[in-house]
Amino acid sequence: MTIKLLSDLDSGERGRVLRIRVTGTIRQRLMDMGMVNGSEVEMIRVAPLGDPIEIKIKGYDLSLRKEVASRIEVEVMEIPLCAATYGKILTVIGFRGGHGMQRRLADMGLTPGTELKLINCDRHSPVIIEVRGTRLALGRGVAHHVLVREN
């Protein structure tokens, strides 16, 4: 189980709210908007200057100040493959994208439950993974559609 602050999530990462360390009217306002323990959140994007951040919770988009988001602890559930850490053993959880994308990935041996090792994930090169003793190179766009969890 990986625990991060909501403000530290990368784009596309999803998690479950564990603890809200905000008090007063801001806490009540967050709770009114659905930010309660156990709620699933997804990081959508961070503003160009780093504040505010945009998340998706309970089916709608919500913008939060980074200061408030840094007081909310989240258990990371799944992350895009291109945001994972080098050398880690990962488990494929699911995919974004349509049937064609899922079929293409399944043809390469990437199905939910498959374990893989991230070999290389530089920003300017393909994502290289090792699956069942075979190395595969995926474009960053395709790697962004593969959702994984660190073991």
**Secondary structure (H, E, C), the chain:** CEEEEHHHCCCCCEEEEEEECCCHHHHHHHHHCCCCCCCEEEEEEECCCCCCEEEEECCEEEEECHHHHCCEEEEEEEEEHHHCCCCCEEEEEEECCCHHHHHHHHHCCCCCCCEEEEEECCCCCCEEEEECCEEEEECHHHHHCEEEEEC
* pLDDT tens for each residue of the chain, 151 residues long: 578 899 988 777 888 999 999 999 999 999 988 898 989 898 888 888 888 999 999 888 999 999 999 999 998 877 888 878 788 889 998 887 788 888 888 888 888 889 999 998 877 788 999 998 899 999 888 888 888 888 7
CB atoms within 10 A of CB 44: 15
pLDDT of 151 reads: 76
Top CATH class, 2-78: mainly beta
> Hey, do 2-78 and 84-150 end up sharing a CATH topology, with the first three levels equal?
yes
pLDDT of 68 reads: 93
CB atoms within 10 A of CB 37: 11
Q: What are phi and psi of 22, to 5 degrees?
A: -120, 145
Delimit the domains of the chain by residue range.
2-78, 84-150
Top CATH class, 84-150: mainly beta
